[in-house]
Amino acid sequence: MQPEAIQIRPMGEDQLAAVLAVQAACYPPAMREPADVVLARLRAAPATTLVACAGDAVCAYLFAYPSLLGSVTALEAPFMPAARPDTLYLHDLAVAPRALGRGLARRLAQHLLDAAAGEGLRHAALVSVQDTRRFWEGLGFEADAGRAPCAALATYPGHALYMTRRLPASSAA
Ligand SMILES: CC(C)(COP(=O)(O)OP(=O)(O)OC[C@H]1O[C@@H](n2cnc3c(N)ncnc32)[C@H](O)[C@@H]1OP(=O)(O)O)[C@@H](O)C(=O)NCCC(=O)NCCS
């Protein structure tokens, strides 16, 4: 699989089963979110829900939505896009085992970070799980533990760390 052969595009509802298969390969059962929740998130935030595909095969996905700094989506909670967002909230980024280590995760995240900066959002935020802190630091995020509500973080099994970064000011915004 050549990295350049992989296309990033908005997720379609017909890709739900493939996205759930990637989720199942990437997370333990206690962290997998049900199909109805995942579909509702796609419908709530279609512009910020991406897949990376090799042909028709889904290799990776990213679910995000416009939110507010300090707001955390609990596990299995619906997306509630903010009316006046200041933050791109990255909820779930996952790469199928067969496609790991080819820069796909960085490409997906950078795609939405660039778009959010272009739309004038000032921050990006996420909850790091499964020992991914250093991956997110590579994308400019820093731990911002004090800002996030403990109850939402506590819904994630294992160590969950709220991380944030500033987005560059856009001349277009
Ligand atoms: C985390 C994940 C998305 C990374 O996917 P990937 O395809 O390996 O990432 P990339 O190839 O884009 O890696 C970009 C860089 O991050 C590094 N990196 C990747 N995973 C890392 C990790 N867990 N810890 C530290 N660095 C990591 C890579 O080495 C690469 O660095 P380099 O450019 O200096 O070589 C993938 O491991 C995954 O799907 N994990 C399971 C789901 C998950 O936990 N998602 C995160 C939820 S917060």
What residue ranges define each of the domains in the chain, with the CATH number in brackets? 3-166 (3.40.630.30)
Nearest residue CA, atom 48 of ligand 1? Answer: 128
Q: 135 alpha carbon to ligand 1 midpoint, in Å? A: 5
Please report, in tens digits, the pLDDT of each residue of the chain (173 residues total): 565 589 999 999 999 999 999 999 999 999 999 999 999 999 999 999 999 999 999 999 999 999 999 999 999 999 999 999 999 999 999 999 999 999 999 999 999 999 999 999 999 999 999 999 999 999 999 999 889 889 999 999 999 999 999 999 976 54
- Type of residue at 44: A
Pocket of ligand 1 (CB under 6 A): 26, 93-95, 100-106, 128-132, 134-135, 138
> What's the pTM value of the predicted model, to 2 decimals?
0.96
Report the C-alpha gap between 92 and 99 in whole angstroms.
Answer: 16
